[in-house]
Amino acid sequence: MLIAGNWKMHTDLSAAQVLARNVAAAVAERGAALDDVDLAVCPPFISLEAVRDELADTDVAVGAQNMHFADEGAYTGEVSAPMLHSVGCRYVILGHSERRQYFGEDDAGVNSKVQQAVDHKLIPIVCVGETKAQRDGGDAEAVVRTQVRGALKEVPIEGAEQLVVAYEPVWAIGTGDTATPEQAEAMHAFIEEVLAGLYGEEMAPDIEVLYGGSMKPHNARSLLEQPHIDGGLIGGASLRAEDFLGIADAAVTATKGPIA
């Protein structure tokens, strides 16, 4: 189970430090209770190093929100995998719908970044998800299948731990309108089938597939209890340490299974 916070374009340096410090304190308070839940936060690039330092005494990993596909070069304004490594990143979010929507990213571009991340031993959190119109038109599965296959085309992985996928229905992001546990579970099971086609029946169930889209402390448990939902990618609620950790608490409860 992985609970990852995507801070998006929020927090300047000092706000990021305060938030990371609050996350560290809330994690320390919970002690061993969080042993079975992996946590990560993905602040803006400029705060990665400072956030890593604030979290140094915890097991909370740090990730980036995007990355370039080349090691280095004349790419003004871009950040590379080796740079992310040098500030202690373990994860990198790739293909977020906001990157697709506002910055013209497509499956082929995401694919080259995913390949680069894996080559550099960063764990890509590959985001996929349909729009409302696509869901209403009955195309949700076809869209997600195309995105998963496109992003992972010819990306060999040696083990399930090298890859994370996040299902983020675009209509649920930042809207307060979360997918129902049944809708999310059905899509996660479908994504596992697509992953099985790429990486085999054996590895696919172990590849973590996170749900993202208005996950909050009050709705997290019912989502995380679903058999194919392996964690959450949290936007808004990751900007308050207590809300973020509230979702981690729900993950702990969910891993213990539904109440009989």
Residues engaged in binding ligand 13P (CB under 6 A): 6, 96, 168, 173-174, 212-215, 233-237
85: annotated active-site residue: no
Helix axis angle, 241-255 relative to 13-30, nearest 10°?
A: 40
Backbone angles phi, psi at 94, to 5 degrees: -130, 140
Around Cβ 77, how many Cβ atoms within 10 Å?
Answer: 5
Of 54, 105, 168, 185, the catalytic one is: 168
Instruction: Choose among 60, 63, 5: nearest CA to 37.
Output: 60
Cβ closest to ligand 13P, residue 38 vs residue 199 = 38
* CB of 214 vs ligand 13P, minimal distance in Å: 4
Around Cβ 153, how many Cβ atoms within 10 Å?
Answer: 15
The residue behind tokens 């990143």 is 89
Residue of closest CB approach to ligand 13P: 235
Q: Which residue type does 70 have?
A: A
* CB of 129 vs ligand 13P, minimal distance in Å: 9
68: annotated active-site residue: no
The residue behind tokens 């597939």 is 209
* CB of 257 vs ligand 13P, minimal distance in Å: 25
The residues assigned a catalytic role are 96, 168
